Amino acid sequence: MRIKLTVNGAENTLEVEPRTTLLDCLRDHLGLKGAHAGCEHGVCGACTVLFDGVAVRSCLMFAPQAEGTPITTIEGVTPGPGELSPLQDAFCETHGLQCGYCTPAMILVAHALLADNPNPTRDDIVEAISGNLCRCTGYAQIVEAIALAADRIRGSNRPSELRK
């Protein structure tokens, strides 16, 4: 069937089988490889994308269901070629990743968290990422990355005379 998807601000008209998940559609039809298949049954979170700004599992939605709602993938939060968002940079700073497979999803979840709560506690961060499994890091450096990014974003949004 023919569907229209709005992904990272661009509208795309696509021909898909109804059974195509949003995840497969993003990867195979739109070439957006940053969303990853981990379990394809909604547990690991590696396929997370932002659906109208909210983190959802793209393996748990069929592509036709996603019509009409803006979708943001990791490619959409990357400011430009070779440029990193404050969150992406913070993940690099703390080394909040190893193999990188769960990482785009973690960063999107963190984006959603910080949009909602610019000043999260450690517990808030732990809760926010608890639906995303990472096998490499034991999560510590991920939590630190998100806390660091929150701190930096708050700092940069403060009036300049009040910045440290």
Residues 61-100 that bind other proteins (CB under 8 A): 61-62, 64-65, 73-75, 78, 84, 88-89, 91-95, 97-100
Q: Does 110 bind other proteins (CB under 8 A)?
A: no
Answer for the pair 1, 65: CB distance below 8 angstroms, yes or no.
Answer: no
List Cβ neighbours of 101 (8 Å cut-off, separation of 6 or more): 36, 38, 46
Residue with tokens 């959802």: 56
Whole-number minimum distance, CB 156 to other proteins, in Å?
19
Whole-number minimum distance, CB 111 to other proteins, in Å?
12
One-letter amino acid at 111 equals H
Q: Which of positions 37-66 make contact with other proteins (CB under 8 A)?
A: 37-46, 48, 51, 54-57, 59-62, 64-65
Q: Which residue lies nearer to other proteins by CB, 92 or 161? A: 92
Q: Which of 14, 29, 126, 153 binds other proteins (CB under 8 A)?
A: 126
Q: Which of 5, 7, 107, 147 binds other proteins (CB under 8 A)?
A: 107
101 to each of 37, 46, 107, how far by Cα in Å? 9, 7, 11
* Residues contacting other proteins: total by CB under 8 A: 75
DSSP codes joined into one string, 69-94: S-EE-HHHHS-BTTB--HHHHHHHHH
Q: Which residue lies nearer to other proteins by CB, 101 or 151? A: 101
Q: Which of positions 127-156 make contact with other proteins (CB under 8 A)?
A: 127-143
91 to each of 16, 19, 115, 148, 153, how far by Cα in Å? 35, 34, 17, 9, 14
